[in-house]
Chains A and B, each alone.
Chain A
Amino acid sequence: MATLNSRRTSRRYAADAGLLVVAAAFVLPLAWVILSSLDPHADLRVKTPDGITLDNFDAVLEPDITFTPLLNSLILCGGATLLTVVCAALAAYPLSRFRSRLNRPFLLTILFATSLPITAIMVPVYALFVQVDLIDTMQGTIFFFAASQLPFAIWIMKNFMDGVPKELEEAAWTDGASSFQSLLRIVLPLMGPGVAVVTVFSFVMMWGNFFVPFMLLLSPEQMPASVSINDFFGNRGTVIYGQLAAFSIIYSTPVILLYVLIARRLGGGFALGGAVKG
């Protein structure tokens, strides 16, 4: 058995080495953004900063550059996430609890819609929004965001809801609770992780989405951070890379924190992508 053990140890070193090589390649762009944000003379390559400064952060923490776009992002993504989660929870309940001939076709349609390329329908959505006067409105964008996220949200929500035993609810029904009350008081609290996954996933997807607000919003003062970040290029002449890096960090922090939070709670590997069982 000794040889097997030593073979295992050497294999572990080999695996470690392999992983570290990939990690080194993957970390370079991340190192750039962190080092540049602290560097008074940042350029495009990874280098030790010429002194450490917070001037870049100071320069971008202005209403037009940071606060307004982030607030817009928050309104858009927060509003759309709320709408998504509420609609998905309501829709998942009868699908999970009552038997109906329509359940199966409905769920198959939902599953089909989860993997449609949303990018492809943005041109007709734009044309449609122009005709019904929803173009360049926050509410129009929120509705579209919610609709594009709903198939996935309903699917996950229904699967988690199936895991909540029915007996608990039946007890509540005998006590005279309505379906709505038992959904609110019993089912949803018991599927906390499911609601958390849907909420965080929807929010993160929308926060990072560029194409939807890029197409559906026009006026600069309504733009979320995902679109306004492009102003660092083009409009302002020379690009100040240090400030771009600082803004990138500020804009990315919320989603990274959310991811860490949920990955912790749900236990490492599962997190968001691990939701796929296959």
Chain B
Amino acid sequence: MTAAPPAGPGVVKTPPGPTAPPPAPKTRTARRALVRALPVSPAVVLLVLFLAGPIAYCAYIAFTDLQLTGQAESSFVGFDNFREAFQDDAFLNAVWLTLVFTVLSSLIGQNTLGLALAALMQRASKPVRTLTGGIVITAWVLPEVVAGFLLYAFFRREGTLNAVLDWLHLPSQNWLYTLPILAVSFANVWRGTAFSMLVYSAALNEIPQEITEAAEVDGAGGWRRMWHITLPMIRRSIGTNLMLNTLQTLSVFGLIWVMTRGGPGTRSQTLPLFMYEQAFQKSMIGYGTAVALLLLVVGSLFSLVYMRLLRTEV
């Protein structure tokens, strides 16, 4: 399923709480603040121990040569892991594949197809709309590993895709071998489009009917209406959706793992799979973590952009 979409209108407004109490002795105010903050503590403890802790630890061991086995102590190696990464062909290959995977499946695939589906749904008849929506959403709700298996079966040499191609008298091939990155990208489109579709459906529903009707009466054709009226009106949704899709796609692991294990060779090994291989199959925890830290930094940048987008909405 897709990354958690934070909801709600506007960002972080201090709630209209009770107005400041009449000046009270300092200790009492402090005590009351403490009592009021008490319910937040279980969440804070969990977040600090299990989320902030690992992130800090990640930032630390990325600069060490920690290994899984053998060595009792790790030592501080500075930027060696990062220097090594940028000279490592396998790492650069993973960066490239991650980029291809993200652009193909998230920016082009999920986003465009999701918008197209949402736009078509505005005009289609109800039974068709319900049927298509149901199918696309089912693909999204299925557990990641199940989706992986279904698409593995679909793209295999003996699978459904080749059967369809044979039937149409088109050339078939072993997709998972010849074009593995394309196959996993399509798999991610299959799995993730529903999210964009829902976001865009909600956005399109909020465009006032009169505006589209007025344009129609003025004789603006479908494409022109889309380009000049619809797209500008939903541009914030487009930003939000692209950001969340990209963040989600950057961290896809299970889907690719089930379909290709990153192979054949390393031809569908995106960064999460590369990180896993370095850390566990090659026991280089320090190096694997350095890669993880890079992924985390890229993710954080996207996250910050996303927060800015939400803020402009207030």
Q: Measuring CB to CB, which residues of chain A are less than 8 angstroms from any residue of chain B?
A: 4, 8, 11-12, 14-16, 18-20, 22-23, 26-30, 32-33, 36, 43-47, 83, 86-88, 90-91, 93-100, 102-104, 106-108, 111-128, 143-144, 146-152, 154-156, 159, 162, 166, 179-180, 201, 204-205, 207-211, 214, 225-227, 229-230, 241, 244, 248, 251-252, 255-256, 259, 269-278
Contacts and interface: CB of A to CB of B under 8 A. Distances in A.
B281 interface: no
B303 A123 contact: no
B145 A210 contact: yes
A97 B15 contact: yes
A96 B15 contact: yes
A163 to B, nearest CB: 9
A155 to B, nearest CB: 5
Chain B interface: which size bin?
35 or more
With most chain B CB atoms within 10 A of its CB, the pick from A29, A108, A251, A256 is: A29
Contacts of B154: 28-29, 32
A44 B14 contact: no
A208 B6 contact: no
Contacts of B217: 4
Given A111-B307, A121-B292, A276-B6, 17 more contacts: A8-B123, A16-B124, A29-B160, A30-B150, A90-B39, A99-B17, A112-B300, A112-B303, A121-B51, A123-B285, A124-B57, A148-B50, A155-B8, A210-B254, A226-B145, A227-B145, A278-B203
3 pairs of A and B residues whose beta carbons are closest in the complex: A208-B143, A159-B8, A147-B50
B1 A26 contact: no
B188 to A, nearest CB: 13
Given A91-B40, A104-B14, A230-B258, A120 B295 contact: yes
A273 B61 contact: no
A252 to B, nearest CB: 5
A15 B236 contact: no
A257 B144 CA distance: 16
A269 B202 contact: yes
Contacts of B9: 159, 277
Q: Secondary structure at chain B's binding surface: helix, strand, loop or mixed?
A: helix
Q: Secondary structure at chain A's binding surface: helix, strand, loop or mixed?
A: helix
A97 B17 contact: yes
A276 B40 contact: no
12 contacts: A15-B123, A15-B128, A23-B136, A26-B132, A29-B139, A30-B150, A100-B36, A106-B40, A112-B307, A120-B295, A124-B289, A269-B205
Contacts of B94: none
A26 B18 CA distance: 52
Given A44-B160, A252-B146, A210 B296 contact: no
Interface string B12-54: 1011111010000000000001001101101110110111011
B5 A107 contact: no
With most chain B CB atoms within 10 A of its CB, the pick from A114, A214, A256, A259 is: A114
Contact of B46 (A150, A210, A241, A244): A150
Nearest to A125: B54
A144 B50 contact: yes
Nearest to B53: A128
A251 B66 CA distance: 38
A155 B33 CA distance: 21
Contacts of B279: 123, 126
A259 B144 CA distance: 15
Contacts of A276: 5-7, 198-199, 202, 237, 240-241, 244
Contact of B149 (A27, A83, A209, A229): A229
Nearest to A148: B51
